[in-house]
Structures are given as structure tokens and as C-alpha cells.
Amino acid sequence: MNQVWSFCFAGLVLGSTPLACKKAESNQGKPPAATKSKQSQLLKPGNPVPDVHATSHEGEAVSLAALRGKSLVVYFYPKDDTPGCTVEAQELRDLHAEIEKSGAIVIGVSTDDAASHQAFAAKHALPFLLLPDTDGRIAAQFGVPLNNGRARRVTFVIGKDGLVKKVFPQVRPSGHGREVLDALTAATG
């Protein structure tokens, strides 16, 4: 049976080995949950964050439930290394130190696979995790629609209590990093 590292966030610093880790069994090999159901609506402020389990581009198992107690920025984007998605990722990268000071963790999600995410993160020195969502399951849990197999550009700011604080349903890449930082400041201040 495959084992993956599931990390606890006690002392977590993204980009380095987590200080407190435990092994968790992977559900690889099990059939994926159905993703073609009725059209979901985007999560709204006040909704709890879904308990997403995925493996990041760095091979780390990520559980959003395990990150409760930290603010999160979960942003969905259509495709690695395209002009708009690159601008958005670079802005979040450039403001990452300030976002971390607010106590938040950034996680990007697209339907690209892990290899594509690895190349995108390396090329642009992205200091945050990217989750492959090749079957659209994570997008469905957040109510993010797929267009031609690609996630719509939507960002969720999630509080330490695990509740959605702010939703950006139609993101314009330029200036979005600052919007996210302002939303984090408002949610914690």
C-alpha cells in the first residue's frame, strides 16, 4: 500500500521539510469521486472550507482540515505558464513574505498535472504549493466551474476558523496579489 507524507502545520514553513509529520495512507488506486453532477455554486463567505486531500507538486500530502488554525489563500487558475496565470502567480510570489507575515498559506490549484506544476513553480520561483486537480474534484468541492477542462480564475480567503472570509469570483490577474493581501488584513484585523 502506498504511503504519503501528511504534514501537520506545527512549525510549518512552506518550502522546507515540515517539523511535525505523520504518515497517512494514500487513497491512490481508489476510483475518483464523481465530478459530473449538477452545477455547484461557489462557496460563499461563512461556508466551511471543504476537507480537501491532495498531493502537491512537491509530493507532499495536503489536507486543508489539517491546516485549520492558519489562514489560507486557495486560488484556482486555468493553466500553468500562460500570460494571465503567470502574472497572478508572480504577484502572489512577490507579496509572499507579506502574506506569510499575516500568518497565511497560499495554495494554487489548476487542472494541470504535477509535472506541469513543477516546471511552472521552478521557472517562476513560486514559494507556495500547487495542487494538481486533473479530474476537477477539488474545483467541484469549492464550486469552481471548469471551462473546457480548465478551472475558472477564482480565489478564496479562508480564516483560521476554517470558514471562507472572502471570495474573488472573477479575478483579474494584474493587481490581484494586493487584493488578496488586503483581504487577509481585513479578515485578521
Burial code (b: 16+ CB inside 10 Å, e: under 16) for 137-175 equals bbbbbbbbbbeeebbbbbbbbbbbebebbbbbeebebee
Q: Which of 67, 74, 85, 138 is labelled catalytic?
A: 85
Q: Read off the C-alpha cell for 1.
A: 500500500
Q: What is the DSSP string of 69-117?
A: TSEEEEEE-S-TTSHHHHHHHHHHHHTHHHHHHTTEEEEEEESS-HHHH
- Is residue 85 among the annotated active site residues? yes
Active site (catalytic) residues: 85
